[in-house]
Structure 1
């Protein structure tokens, strides 16, 4: 018979086992953080290529959108350069830290829908007022991430519905392959043929991954056709950050803060989480939200839009290879982003000198696997009606209250699914 002194120690483990385990607010890494030796051991050309392509994607089309919105809004060249510096700085730092910590390809960038919605706002709000909204939006994103609410919302939405939103957003990248090939066959045509050849012949693809081969062939095609057109005239080589003192007005806060927060946490981070899960990773949803809030505040200090985890970037980083080594591609992407921050004016001019068809074809080809996976996940099993409604609403480009269509797609699709697909929800409960 056990002694009285031993009885508490016998009961305590049972009580501890019976107590429900609470999930930590910030998800703990499953593996120990990666160090320099781990990166050097795990990196390979295909992962480095994924990181380079992710950078090319970020430094071309999204930068063009940013510059266009800023120019229409009357921003000076110094303010635009500072904006580009801020978004690349936060993207690089957040990606490197999070990817090494969690040993997953966790690619950060900035909110393109958020950038687009600034266009009309800059027509009647001053830039200091917009910067004030950036700061408040960053604080709100950080606060919502700290509550754990984002993780609960993401867990409540069925994956097929989220992936239907991703499929709608990514569909444009697929059609870009066709339009770029039609508009500029000299550049895009060889890229498509190279991708098909390297994919069809596994022996070739083993030595030169299809997407990396597409990049190489595209560069050769651009150079051979003489379509690399750098604008004449000198400009600054290194970025010179500019601090814009924020102005906090109710007009700017009411117009921008909530749409920016929803765009980052649900639309952008939601895409990134869905893409990473489809690739077999376990992305830290709450840590994403907290990091997005912190780096959005950093961005605001440079007059830049909110930071976020994006679907396209992470689709590129996970497009090939062993999932346990894909984090090295994110590290390459992060390091190149820091270089872009330092050389923001020069690199921006360089990337905008390439023909549009090169960027569209490369991005579309690199996104094909993610686009295929999005459609398979969205429509192959359950919640197919909710997924269809989500896809249709998102692709319709519906915008209400200055909030991106992807949010309304998920909201309306989920509502319809709850009403009309009760059996699917009951089965997953």
Structure 2
């Protein structure tokens, strides 16, 4: 396995963890605060979340030889941040266990895997492009706030694509770090916390109103806003994800770690795109090592507890946004190209892309889910069926031999 390890795998894993934490760690802190957890319990939450993401990413990537990245449920954390006020912490832990049991049941029954097979590839690619589009845009929007840093990183990116394509993103990250060190952007070292997180067992209790009001919505938003886009991301990259097995593994991790603060784990989408893209590895068969390295870094971040989190907090926002956006450019371009390749389904794909980018949300369910619902409906209503004749079918599908 180590013989397959490349620098690009290590960088992809590091960037995925960087994006995963900086993109939503503030929401996690809000959820922890709403739960009324003590400082020791808060550190346990972060430890459990890091270990859960790391171990599940590591296990699934090794078992299935795919870059299967997992994540905490970000919309679930947002839900908890507004739902756990005045809810006893023990009841919240009970709701986490209830959600985990539902995730395991969903994986065992296999109904979600069957549903995912109904999504056309064009719509999957359109949704993925829409999910990643804001990250690509943010890389260039950062010009406004930190022109010199972003310009140096973009110049490095362009030169790297021309001269050393395989190491472009590592070079961009290195230039960004060196630039920030040179201009003093990492000066707020007083925020560094060198303590290690320790697990704290939080005994669950079960309240029917909390199970229905917190546990059930946590399950719904995790499935619709996280697991569905996660499956689509892997499909769009050309993989056949083990949907049911992934749900069982992430559900089991949620069940085991819930008493320590690991409220819900699921398939990742945005960070998974980093590991699934050509920047991680030109060879799709060995990209799973990017998932392995992501898992290793997540475990280290979890064990590091507050130390690593404080490092993220002192990292300039422009550096994170630019590295993430440039690392995802290839995936965005490939997804858009695949989504619009078939003229018959182009309208449905464009609508799926636009709804995803819009960020609309109804009933606490994010835009990615609604984009697929609308896209599938439009695809069914207006997309003409493929030609019946063999000759016409061959002409309409250039990839067909």
User: Structure 1 pair 150/304, CA: closer, same or farther in 2 (3 Å)?
Assistant: same
Residue matched to 1:254: 212
Residue matched to 1:195: 157
Residue 358 of structure 1, aligned match among 316, 319, 333 = 319
> Offset of 1:150 from its aligned partner?
1.1
Residue matched to 1:396: 358
* Structure 1 residue 267 corresponds to structure 2 residue 228: no
Alpha-carbon distance in structure 2 between the residues aligned to 1:332 and 1:54: 10
Q: Deviations over 1:136-183 (max 9, x none)?
A: 111101101101111100001212223322222211101111221221
Residue matched to 1:348: 309
User: Structure 1 pair 390/125, CA: closer, same or farther in 2 (3 Å)?
Assistant: farther
Residue 185 of structure 1, aligned match among 147, 150, 166 = 147
SS at match of 1:182: coil
User: Structure 1 pair 373/263, CA: closer, same or farther in 2 (3 Å)?
Assistant: farther
* Structure 1 residue 120 corresponds to structure 2 residue 120: no
Residue matched to 2:271: 313
Structure 2 stretches lacking a partner, 5+ long: none
What pairs with 1:22-33 in structure 2 (closer than 5 Å)? Answer: none
Alpha-carbon distance in structure 2 between the residues aligned to 1:383 and 1:409: 15
> Offset of 1:90 from its aligned partner?
1.0
Residue matched to 1:242: 200
Residue matched to 1:339: 300
What pairs with 1:371-382 in structure 2 (closer than 5 Å)? Answer: 371-381=332-342, 382=344
Contact 2:149 2:180 in 1 (8 A): yes
> Offset of 1:55 from its aligned partner?
2.1
Residue matched to 1:24: none
Alpha-carbon distance in structure 2 between the residues aligned to 1:94 and 1:40: 19
Contact 1:46 1:212 in 2 (8 A): yes
* Structure 1 residue 220 corresponds to structure 2 residue 182: no
User: Structure 1 pair 308/180, CA: closer, same or farther in 2 (3 Å)?
Assistant: same
Contact 1:237 1:346 in 2 (8 A): yes
> Offset of 1:198 from its aligned partner?
0.2
Q: Deviations over 1:22-44 (max 9, x none)?
A: xxxxxxxxxxxxxxxxx211111
Residue 205 of structure 1, aligned match among 137, 152, 165 = 165
SS at match of 1:123: coil
Alpha-carbon distance in structure 2 between the residues aligned to 1:130 and 1:391: 36
> Offset of 1:302 from its aligned partner?
1.6
* Structure 1 residue 76 corresponds to structure 2 residue 42: no
SS at match of 1:109: strand
* TM-score normalised by structure 2 residue count: 0.88
Alpha-carbon distance in structure 1 between the residues aligned to 2:155 and 2:296: 31
Residue 289 of structure 1, aligned match among 233, 237, 247 = 247
Residue matched to 1:152: 114
Alpha-carbon distance in structure 2 between the residues aligned to 1:57 and 1:420: 38
> Offset of 1:69 from its aligned partner?
4.0
User: Structure 1 pair 89/380, CA: closer, same or farther in 2 (3 Å)?
Assistant: same
RMSD: 2.5
Contact 1:137 1:260 in 2 (8 A): yes
> Offset of 1:126 from its aligned partner?
3.8
> Offset of 1:122 from its aligned partner?
2.7
* Structure 1 residue 300 corresponds to structure 2 residue 261: no
> Offset of 1:315 from its aligned partner?
1.4
Structure 1 stretches lacking a partner, 5+ long: 1-38
User: Structure 1 pair 248/422, CA: closer, same or farther in 2 (3 Å)?
Assistant: farther
Q: Deviations over 1:335-377 (max 9, x none)?
A: 1211111111111111211111111111111111222222223
Contact 1:138 1:306 in 2 (8 A): yes
Contact 2:110 2:244 in 1 (8 A): yes
Alpha-carbon distance in structure 1 between the residues aligned to 2:213 and 2:353: 26
